[in-house]
Structure 1
């Protein structure tokens, strides 16, 4: 049940434009900085406007609260689909596209930040960077990190997306970017949408084949995470 469906809940709501400037999310962002705003306020800035519901004005902040409740805070929004957002009252294609694009940009920015890391000293450091990026993805992905001689990331390549098996992850598809990028070593990454971290038989077989292929061309395989 939506909060909007409770008669009278929003009868006394006032348009954000009529709030004191110090309380408006956008003005607060400029005065205090984005880190001082709540998730709800940041989301309201992206939404920009609310909507009308049974004659009542629902503000962008009210709508943001409803979205966070529906998706159980930010975790549920990280990989939200446009169709899921469109199922909510007050969310049209423009708002849905804006939210999905914002979270995708955030994910890409996080990946770039990881790529600027000076170097990785161990597999645990790699895992600490990439688990937050990969753990909530709904589809299984296989990625390869190309590293230089100091274990600094040269580039990250997405090799396949979908159910991981030997037909989707062919050594040739993984070797090509590593050779083109002059990688000294590589690290393989892939996620399990099920949440089970244990490697499957396919995982083990793929790793074995890739290690054999990379050994032939003299590129070290440091780990498969």
Structure 2
């Protein structure tokens, strides 16, 4: 499953057409295959200055219940593609999109790092049976 998922994302990267990303539903359309993954995957949607999708990246492939994420790996990808902003995305294989304390903690760290780096974190969307936006839920100040 992991290799197939990674391959699908890589193929889809070549099909990116500057899609406008403005809602969790748009995120779900871009990375909906994560909903059926058997392990947690932490991904990025790199966004340009006009709010258009420029690249997708898998940052971390984890276990059934967690994925290791560090700001260094997140922002390395974004700097290399000249992203103006980012939408963080990861899945919960359990199907429950409710964020853990660790999800909120890493989101806050990445928002702070983004402020320093000049790359705005627009949202963090968790994909389960449905998509949950931490921004819309008011769980993290962006």
The TM-score bracket by the shorter chain reads: 0.7 to 0.9
Is 1:184 aligned to residue 89 of structure 2? no
Change (3 A) 1:110 1:154: closer
After superposition, give the CA deviation of every residue in 1:160-188 in whole Å (9 maximum; x if it has no partner): 111435xx211111111111211100011
Match of 2:45 among 145, 148, 156: 145
Instruction: Answer 1 or 2: which has greater strand percent.
Output: 2
Is 1:116 aligned to residue 1 of structure 2? no
Shift of 1:154: 1.6
Distance 2:75 2:6 in 1: 27
Residue aligning to 1:217? 117
Larger Rg: 1
Q: Give 1:17-166 correspondences, 5 Å limit.
A: 79=1, 108-110=10-12, 112-113=14-15, 115-130=16-31, 132-163=32-63, 164=66
Q: Larger relative contact order (C-alpha < 8 A, sep ≥ 6)?
A: 2
Match of 1:204 among 94, 101, 104: 104
Instruction: Answer 1 or 2: which has greater helix percent.
Output: 1
Count residues in correspondence: 123
Does the aligned pair in 1 maintain the 2:9–2:56 contact within 8 Å? no
Point out 4+ residue stretches in structure 1 off by more than 3 angstroms. Answer: 103-113
Tell me how large the CA RMSD over aligned residues is. Answer: 2.5
Change (3 A) 1:128 1:182: same
Change (3 A) 1:133 1:215: same
**Structure 2 residue runs without a partner (length 5+):** 126-142
Change (3 A) 1:111 1:135: farther
Q: Secondary structure at the match of 1:135?
A: helix
**TM-score (normalised: structure 1):** 0.49
Shift of 1:126: 1.6
Shift of 1:124: 2.5
Change (3 A) 1:110 1:182: closer
